[in-house]
Structure 1
C-alpha cells in the first residue's frame, strides 16, 4: 500500500467513484497492522503477534498473512480468500492524513492511483458539493479505526511496561522444510499466570483479557498458514 495519499478535495476528486475492491495492492504483504479491537475476529483465522519499531521502541499488533516476506496467502488473483479483512485494508483507498504539529486534528486523504477509483462505476464520493452517505460512513469508520489504533498503542505500551511482551522465534514446517520466523513478540503466558492478583485484575478491568487470550489462541493458526502454503 505504497500509493501516496493526498488530501481529499471536492474540487479535485468530486467526480470520483469507488469501485469493487482489488486486493492486489497487498498481495505481497505478509503482515498487516490491526488494533486490539480486531483480535477477536482476526484471531479466528490468522496468527496475531506483535512487532517492535526499532526506532521508536513502540509495539504494534499485526496479523500474519504469510510465513515469509512478500507472501500473502489470503490474496489470490486480486481477491481476498479469507473471511476477515483487517480494517486498514477495508479503509483503502481512503486514509487519514496526520499533521504531527496539530495533535487533535486529522484529515481525510485518498490514494489517487488506486485501481478502485473510477469516474464510471461504483460508489460516488460527492453529490454536487455535498459528501455522499457512502463517504460519510467511510469517514466515520476511518475515525473509529484511528481511535482504536491510538488506544492500542497505549495498551501495548502498558503491556510492555509490565514486561508481558517477549521476543519469540517461531519455527514452522512447510512440506517437510523447517523455517524460523524471527522479530516477533508474544504475550509471556508464564509471566501472565504468575502475576499478582491485583495486577491481573487490573488487566481485566481495562478489558485486556479478551485480546490477550485471543492473541494466545490465535497462535494455533500458524499451522493453518503452513498448510495453506504447502498446498499452494
Structure 2
C-alpha cells in the first residue's frame, strides 16, 4: 500500500528517510522505464528495449528485468544482485507530481506509508526552522534532473520513430525441456535500416551523440539469454 502526499514542512517536519538498496517493491514489474543516460552503464546487465503506448504512439525505453509479466528476477529479495542500478530507483519514497496535467509546476511528494520513512532513523527532510535540509535539496534536484532526462529520452525515442529506426521484434526463448516462451510487443533498432541510412542522416545521428546509445542498446540484447537463465533458476528455487 502507498500513501502519496505532497511534502509539507509542517505536516512532515519530523520525518526522516532511510536510504537503502531494497528494491523489492519492483518485484512484479519486469520492464523498468529508463533514461538515455542509463543506456551505456545498464547495457552490461539488462536488455534495453522499447515499448509502444498503443493510445499515444509514444515509445518508452525500458530495461528488461524479467521475461514474464509480474516477475522481476532481480527484485524478489531485498538484496540487489547487480553492480548497476537504474537512475529512477533512487527516487523512492519521493516523487514529483504535476499540479495540473498541462502545468509544468510540480509538487514534491512522499509515500508516507513507506518502510523507508520514519521519525527515528534516516536523513531529516526539514531542520528545526522548517527549512529544507541539504539532503532534501539534493533529492529534489535529482528528481528534477531525472524529469528533464525523461523528457529528453522521450524526444530521442520520437526522433528514432520519425526516422523509422524502430521495428517490432519477436523473441522465442527456450526455458528448458519443452517449455517455450515468445516475447512480443518489444521494439528494437532496425540494424538494416540503420545501415541503409544516407550518409547525411547517419552523420546527423553521430553529431547528435545518438550512435553510442544505439550501439549500447544493440549490445544489450545479448543479455536476454542470461535473463532467461535467471528466470529458470528462480523458478527452480521456488
Question: Structure 1 residues 178, 117: closer, same or farther in 2, change over 3 A?
Answer: same
Instruction: Please report the TM-score for the alignment, with normalisation by the length of structure 2.
Output: 0.92
> 1:138 — aligned with what?
139
Task: Indicate the SS of the match to 1:69.
Answer: coil
Q: State which drifts further: 7-16 or 54-63.
A: 7-16
Residues 27 and 78 of structure 1 are in contact (CA less than 8 Å); yes or no, is this contact kept in structure 2?
Answer: no
RMSD: 1.4
Task: Indicate the SS of the match to 2:139.
Answer: helix
**1:79 Cα deviation (Å)?**
2.2
Match of 1:210 among 181, 189, 212: 212
> 2:90 — aligned with what?
90
**1:7 Cα deviation (Å)?**
1.3
Distance, in Å, in 1 between the alignment partners of 2:50 and 2:152 is: 15
Residues 18 and 122 of structure 2 are in contact (CA less than 8 Å); yes or no, is this contact kept in structure 1?
Answer: yes
Instruction: Please report the TM-score for the alignment, with normalisation by the length of structure 1.
Output: 0.95
Structure 2 residues not aligned, in runs of 5+: none
Task: Indicate the SS of the match to 2:167.
Answer: strand
> 1:179 — aligned with what?
181
> 1:33 — aligned with what?
33
**1:20 Cα deviation (Å)?**
4.1
Match of 1:188 among 181, 187, 190: 190
Could you give the per-residue CA deviations for residues 133-192 of structure 1, whole angstroms, max 9, x where no partner exists?
Answer: 111111111111111100011111111011101111111222232210111100001100
> 2:233 — aligned with what?
231
> 2:114 — aligned with what?
114
Task: Indicate the SS of the match to 2:10.
Answer: helix
Task: Indicate the SS of the match to 1:13.
Answer: coil
Structure 1 residues not aligned, in runs of 5+: none
Q: How many residues align?
A: 230
Distance, in Å, in 1 between the alignment partners of 2:224 and 2:187 is: 14
Q: Which has the higher strand share?
A: 1
Task: Indicate the SS of the match to 2:209.
Answer: coil
> 2:70 — aligned with what?
70
